[in-house]
Structure 1
Amino acid sequence: MSSEKSAENPSIVLEDQIDQKDASSVEQAEAEKASSELIDSDSELLIPSRRLTAEKQLVRILDMRLLPTIVLIFILNYIDRTAVSAARLNGLESDLHINDIQYSTILAVLYASYVPAQIPSNMILNRISRPSWYIPICVILWGMTSALTGVAKNYAGILAARIFVGLPEAAFYPGAMYLLSRWYTRKELAFRGAILYGGLLISNAFGSLMAAGILSRLDGKMGIRGWRWLFYIEGAITICIGFFAIWALPDYPHNTRWLSPAQKRLAQVRLAEDAGEADEDAANESVMHGLKEALKDPKVYIFAIMTCSQLLGLSFVNFFPTLTATLGFNTTISLLLAAPPWIFATIVCCVNAWHADRTGERYFHIAGPWWGVIVGYIIGLSTPSVGGRYVGMFLMASGYAGFALTLVWVSNAIPRPPSKRSASMGIVNGFGNLGNLIGSYAWKADWGPDYHPSMIIGIASLSLSSVLALVIRFMLVAENKALERDQLKNLTPDERQRIEDAAKLEGLTMKEALERKRGFRYLY
């Protein structure tokens, strides 16, 4: 019957076909809309036409929010830690009745708690989901302890304060470097790490200027010695910055509160592309698994000894105001003279790291500044002139441009899994700071004002560091050659899982992800 009607009235057939096409068009439009909504909510920034602009914007957000916050914290970190050096020039030793050996112990005991706490702290940071709370709470705690140092009445009191300052401070530098490695690619990390470490270097300048102002203007105010005011004021500032950091710091790329879903996805994809694997631990890769893997890697031990040796060679930092005082000026001028070398060192640090990122080279950018320190020590050993020794101090301060890239190199050399990377960074920086502990006794007052034995120790230590860094370079060259031969033949299940996760993040096939992984190489 219907066929007869259709035959009699072809317009009915045409209308039915139009209705079917309309329905099909509606379904297609709805599917496209649903697909568009999915892209808008999660993957829109991965579209090639938008990717470059979106990535630049993401990095700019991090550079404007994450980076300034941790730099500011690091400035206060070292100002708080080295305030005791400035306090020494204002009567700390006489007021607390301590001798030269006891003063060296006050410097060293901070590292007795600071060194062992770094490994568990970084393991905790890898496991928790909110570094934006963990790091600021540690900042607030060390600010409180630093402020309480000002109430010390004797040697035992300041010793206890220094021990408890070291515990929360252990969370910061290796933790901050690990946090940076969770956001920036290998080619971005060196410069950002140097900017962070520039905070330490410039803190030596700011710390000296701040100390000069406080000690000269507040000494005796309200019946309180200037060195006590120094601890009160610097500790209070640190506490305030700690509360600010809770708001400012990000968490991880997958759960940061102030990024859109599309930006979170882009942040994860960037890191997956950089190493050919997702920057996440596999299901069975616990923090203890990461620690065990780090302890099996010989590079970790060489990095640790290298760092310990270089920090012994750079241990003059805790005595810098004392060294400038040997030039023969009063306390205020000596503190003011301590600032320019660190300003110069900050510039050298940033330029050196920028060039390291541009070239991808690591060894010469790390060891080169150490060789400058050796030259500075040689100047100090060979001339008594004030001008020559002050030039040597500029070279000495610039040596920290090498240390600024140490944890960057660790992150580059041990990129995955994150649990292994975080444990490795904690081990290297923790063990390495034993160099600072030993260095607390390497600049004895009895060896002043020339400190020739101290400088000879520094030359030997930095020479050893240079050799160990060269060994690491050769090891990474060998590993790169091995990667060229059989990189994909010996993948562990966990490595394959991270590559699969990266493929899902980026919308690649497993074959494409494996080919991209084949192109990964270590930076040396």
Structure 2
Amino acid sequence: MGDLLSQFHGSLDILRWDKHSPTVIGNHIIILANGDAVDLNRRTGSNLYHPLTPTDHRYIPAVNGISNVAATINVPTHATAGDNEDAVVGRDCVYDRREWVGCRAGVCLRANFHCASAANDLWAIPERPEAVDIRLVPMLCILYLISHLDRANIGNAKILGLTEELSLSGMQYNIALSLFFIPYVLLEVPSNILLKHFTRPSVYLGTLIVTWGIIMTLTGVVRNFGGLLTMRILLGIFEAGFFPGSVYLCSRWYMPRDLATRVAAFFCASALSGAFSGLLAAGLSKMDGVGGYSGWRWIFIIEGLATVVLGGLTFFLLVDSPQLSAKWLDQEEIRYLVIQEFIKEGGQFKEENTKTSWKDVGAMMLNWRIYLLSYIMLCQSACNYGTKFTLPTITKAMGFTSTNAQLMTVPPYIAGAISAVLFSKLSDRYYWRMPFVAAPLLLIITGYAIIMGLKGRLEANIGPGYFAIIVACMGIYPTYPATASWAMNNLAPSKRRAIGSAFNICMGNTGGIIGSYMYLDKEAPTYPTGFGLSLAFGGSALLVAVILELSFMYSNKRKARLTEMEIRETYTDEQLLAMGDKSPFFKYTL
């Protein structure tokens, strides 16, 4: 690590205050002249993943009510800002034996170390390269879209004759839906632990994708209920590791405040999978009888083969880590991304080379907030999968033919995708998670309340019923990424973050089991159980989100009462690191 930091010797960045626009300008990371790393791009209430070690934290005075945390390694910092003055690090440098001074307009930031000579200074640290967004996020979104197509296309196959040809009763169909989620839920945490042992995540994830693509293809040739159950269980086993692995991979490439928008892109893909599923099912239904296979069988066969192809491409196209990305990133970009990871991991990488301990697992199991966050995700998943598995049947109950019913599922999912991106961009912009969890939950409540008010008269009230479905989908899809990012932002260090994120997703996905039994064929088309439970889940999740917000606010205020001297006298740096989010230096994201 020393060699890497030495390459940044003298490399500095700009931190600016302005009376009329008190916003931090510049990068998250500042590399001081002695090679130490500083993260100054933080607002009150946000967090460092955990303290940089060894570290000295100071609060820079508030400007127009906004404070910024200066967290440094071994370098005490101090700054004062006037009404219309800027504090600038690095551009104007005065050299002294013991003191470096960065000044502009009489406002200075001082630190006790030697400044590198101007000839050796690398004044500009590159921004996080947009190439990461281009190479990482679209590939993961496409793969997540195909994973949702493969698990939910059974709903499209149902109205094309799957249940009749396999002689399934209503409850047998629900059992087939739910069995997917049992291995899916149980294997998410072990999968993420296993993923951390792979130098190239693309190899691990690519293997999963190719395997579940083969399973999906074979689903198209099953002949009975037992064969369908076997394929659904195997599909759950191999899909289990993909989403938690993808979220963890993104958390390695992005800073916390940038994460929600990227996770939202997955859920945009999830929503679009519903739209594509309807379009593909409408088209593939025309293949009924081709090769002696029914139209519903071709849905599984064609989509399964497409998954195998994409899984093969994953080995070559999915990016792994900055250190392995020299073919498409230059050295300065790689150094920046590695230092960014260094900051997030508390100023050290050594934990990345150690095995996950039972202590880390135990710490996650005893974190009561994880269970509340998981409950919100469970509520979202129940609404999501219940709607996704049943929406073609609901639109058919409005009086549409089978093909048109497939097509009418497209607009609600498009609206959900747009909503997911919009809410997540706002969440990242303001770096405040709770309102962007609560607002979508209110949309869920509104949508299902309207549907409940129609009392099952969908065919007679197509307009209000269809509008309510769109509103509900606009609430369903933003909720999950906002909650997942909220959880990721409040977990530390990385081993616990990997375990905690997988556990959170795992517990949340138990909602898929519930969603599989919410809409019963015998209750069609009124579905009082399904719509009623969806309304209850939305309301209870909103209450839990408020409780979480209050608890995070209380914890931050309690930690703020401790002075740095008191903390240093009580804990060593290693103890602070081991405490994770319970460290007095860790500030929860609200």
Q: Distance in 1 between matches of 2:553 and 2:277?
A: 41
- Mean Cα displacement is larger for which, 119-128 or 74-83? 119-128
TM-fit CA distance, 1:302: 1.9
**8 Å Cα contact 1:190-1:356 kept in structure 2:** yes
Which whole-Å deviations, capped at 9, do the CAs of 1:284-340 have from their partners, x for residues lacking one? 662533222211211122222332233223332221211211111001111111001
Provide the residue aligned with 1:502 in structure 2: none
**Alignment partner, residue 410 of structure 2:** 339
C-alpha root-mean-square deviation of aligned residues, in Å? 2.6
Instruction: Give the 5 Å matches for 1:305-320.
Output: 305-314=375-384, 315-320=386-391
Deviations 1:222-252 (A, max 9, x none): 2111111111110111111111111122223
2:536 to 460, 467, 474: 460
Residue among 312, 320, 341 paired with 1:251? 320
1:282, distance to aligned residue in structure 2 (A): 6.6
Aligned match of 2:209: 139
Give the drift of 1:55.
Answer: 1.7
Contact in 1 for aligned 2:192/2:502 (Cα 8 Å): yes
- For the residues of structure 2 that align with 1:207 and 1:467, how far apart are their CA atoms? 33
**Aligned residue number for residue 587 of structure 2:** 521
Q: Tell me the CA shift for residue 168 of structure 1.
A: 1.1
Q: Separation in 1 of the partners of 2:197 and 2:259?
A: 22
User: Residue type matched to 1:156 in 2?
Assistant: G
Calculate the TM-score normalised by the size of structure 1.
0.83
**2:183 paired residue among 97, 113, 119:** 113
* Structure 1: stretches of 5+ with no match in the other structure: 1-37, 500-516
2 CA distance for matches of 1:334 and 1:45?
63
Comparing 145-154 and 274-283, the one that deviates more: 274-283
- CA deviations 1:387-434 (Å, max 9, x no partner) are 0000011011112211122211110111x2111011111111111111
2:351 aligns with one of 281, 286, 292: 281
One of 486, 499, 512 as aligned partner of 1:423: 499
Q: Deviations over 1:259-285 (max 9, x none)?
A: 455433311322444575447627666
Please state if 1:67 is matched with 2:144.
Answer: no
- Select which of 128, 133, 142 maps to 2:198: 128
**Residue aligning to 1:408:** 485
Is it true that 1:176 corresponds to 2:258 in the alignment?
Answer: no
Q: Are the equivalent residues in 1 in contact too, given 2:271–2:416 (CA < 8 A)?
A: yes
- The code of the aligned residue for 2:488 comes to S
Task: Measure, in 2, the Cα distance between the counterparts of 1:147 and 1:362.
Answer: 40
Which amino acid is 1:452 matched to? Answer: P
Q: Contact conserved, 2:244 with 2:505, CA < 8 A, in 1?
A: yes
Deviation at 1:107, TM superposition (A): 0.4
Task: Give the counterpart of 2:126 among 54, 66, 70.
Answer: 54
What is the match of residue 507 of structure 1? none
Provide the residue aligned with 1:369 in structure 2: 440
Q: Does 1:151 align with 2:228?
A: no
Percent of aligned pairs sharing the same letter: 27
Aligned to 1:85: 155
- Report the Cα distance in structure 1 between the residues aligned to 2:523 and 2:488, rounded to whole angstroms: 38
Structure 2 length-normalised TM: 0.74
Separation (CA, whole Å) in 2 of partners of 1:264 and 1:498: 28
- Amino acid aligned to 1:412: N
Q: Is 1:209 equivalent to 2:286 in the alignment?
A: no
Q: CA 1:96/1:387 → structure 2, altered by over 3 Å: closer, same or farther?
A: same
Distance in 2 of aligned mates of 1:321 and 1:61: 38
For 1:466 and 1:193, locate their aligned partners in 2 and report how far apart those are by CA, in whole Å.
21
Structure with higher RCO (Cα < 8 A, 6+ apart): 1
Counterpart residue identity of residue 502, structure 2:
G
1:219 matches 2:285? no
Q: Is the counterpart of residue 478 in structure 1 residue 554 in structure 2?
A: yes
> Does the aligned pair in 1 maintain the 2:188–2:240 contact within 8 Å?
yes
Cα distance, 1:40 vs. partner?
11
Structure 2 Cα separation of the partners of residues 366 and 333 of structure 1: 33
Structure 1 residues 428 and 497 mapped into 2: Cα distance closer, same or farther (>3 Å)? closer
Count of matched residue pairs: 467
The 2-side partners of 1:468 and 1:518 are apart by 25
Aligned CA distance change for structure 1 residues 518 and 102 (closer, same or farther; 3 Å): closer
Determine if contact 1:305/1:432 at 8 Å carries over to the other structure: yes
- Inter-partner Cα distance in structure 2 for 1:158 and 1:492: 56
- The verdict on how the C-alpha distance between 1:289 and 1:231 changes in structure 2, with shifts beyond 3 A counting, is same
Q: How does 1:478-517 map to 2 (within 5 A)?
A: 478-486=554-562, 488-489=567-568, 491=571, 493-494=573-574
C-alpha contact (below 8 Å) 1:321/1:334 kept by paired residues? yes
Distance 2:574 2:356 in 1: 12
Letter of the aligned partner of 2:436 in structure 1? H
Residue 479 (structure 1) shift: 2.3
Whether the 8 Å CA contact 1:45–1:262 is kept in 2: the answer is no
Cα pair 1:182 1:279 within 8 Å, conserved: no
The whole-number CA distance in structure 2 between the counterparts of 1:461 and 1:449 is 20
- Say if 1:89 and 1:272 are closer, same or farther in 2 by CA, change over 3 A: same
Q: Secondary structure at the match of 2:221?
A: coil
> Counterpart of 1:292?
362
**More moved, 298-307 vs 183-192:** 298-307
Instruction: Work out which of the two has the higher radius of gyration on C-alpha atoms and give 1 or 2.
Output: 1
| Greater shift in the superposed pair: 397-406 or 221-230 | 397-406
CA contact (8 A) 1:45 1:263 kept: no
Aligned counterpart for 1:350 among listed residues 415, 421, 430: 421
CA distance in 2, matches of 1:417, 1:494: 12
Give the residue type in structure 2 aligned to 1:407: A
Which is strand-richer, 1 or 2?
2
CA distance in 1, matches of 2:159, 2:381: 24
Distance 1:46 1:388 in 2: 60
Report whether the alignment pairs 1:382 with 2:459.
Answer: no
Q: Secondary structure at the match of 2:351?
A: coil
